Amino acid sequence: MTEAITLAIDSQFDHVFLVGLSVHAVCAGLGLGDEAAGAVELSVVEAVNNCVEHAYREEPGHRVEIHLAAAFGALRVAVRDRGRCLDWAAACARADAYAADAAAEGGRGVFIMRSLMDGVDYVSTDGLNELILIKRLPSAATEAPRPAAS
């Protein structure tokens, strides 16, 4: 059984919180507990921020799409833009260096996504860039939202 929804915003930071709120609610509805839903929310917000900031250089008027689909026991989120693409291998390599630098003001987004999600990948084809985030869903036996184990 697949359950799927697509979200889309214009490339502006002002709209990103609406994505975060929606993603959190969708995750809760798919059975993720509050902490896991918050982890997906944060990862998606980081990915969408990167589209606005880097792929579109904060230029409004472009579209960022967030495709959420639950299937085979996992949530798959694809964050799509048609802006500048990213050297994913280099970004991953840099991510760990930045994360270790306590004085860095930025550069933590990729590290955060890779830490919180069960899988992260990036593909760019014909001008369409897609960052893919995977989070395992609780099995049916534990499907009810559980209190956050913080």
Partner 1 sequence: MELAQRIEGSVLVAKACDHRVDARQAADFKLQLLALVAADHPLIALDLSDVDFIDSSGLGAIVAAHKQLGTRGNLVIVGAKPAVANLFRLTRMDKVFRMYPAEAEALAALMH
Ligand X SMILES: Nc1ncnc2c1ncn2[C@@H]1O[C@H](COP(=O)(O)OP(=O)(O)O)[C@@H](O)[C@H]1O
Which of ligand X, partner 1, its own copies, none is residue 148 near (CB under 5 to 8 Å by kind)?
partner 1
Is 104 an interacting residue with respect to partner 1 (CB under 8 A)?
yes
Is 71 an interacting residue with respect to its own copies (CB under 8 A)?
no
| Out of 9, 50, 116, 117, the residue judged to bind ligand X by CB under 6 A | 50
| Out of 105, 125, 126, 140, the residue judged to bind partner 1 by CB under 8 A | 105
**Coil/strand/helix, residue 135:** strand
Closest CA to 91 of 49, 53, 122: 122
Binding segment for partner 1 (CB under 8 A), chosen from 48-56, 63-71, 118-126, 130-138, is: 48-56
CA dist., res. 125 & res. 85, Å (int): 10
CA dist., res. 102 & res. 104, Å (int): 6
Binding segment for its own copies (CB under 8 A), chosen from 23-31, 52-60, 71-79, 96-104, is: 23-31
DSSP symbol at 139: P
Is 69 an interacting residue with respect to partner 1 (CB under 8 A)?
no
**Least distance to ligand X, CB of residue 63, Å:** 14
Q: Give the largest CA-CA distance in the chain.
A: 46
Is 110 an interacting residue with respect to ligand X (CB under 6 A)?
yes
| Burial zone of 18 (CB within 10 Å; 0-12 exposed, 13-18 middle, 19+ buried) | exposed
Interface characters, 24-43, with partner 1 (x: CB under 8 A) = ----------xx--xx-xx-
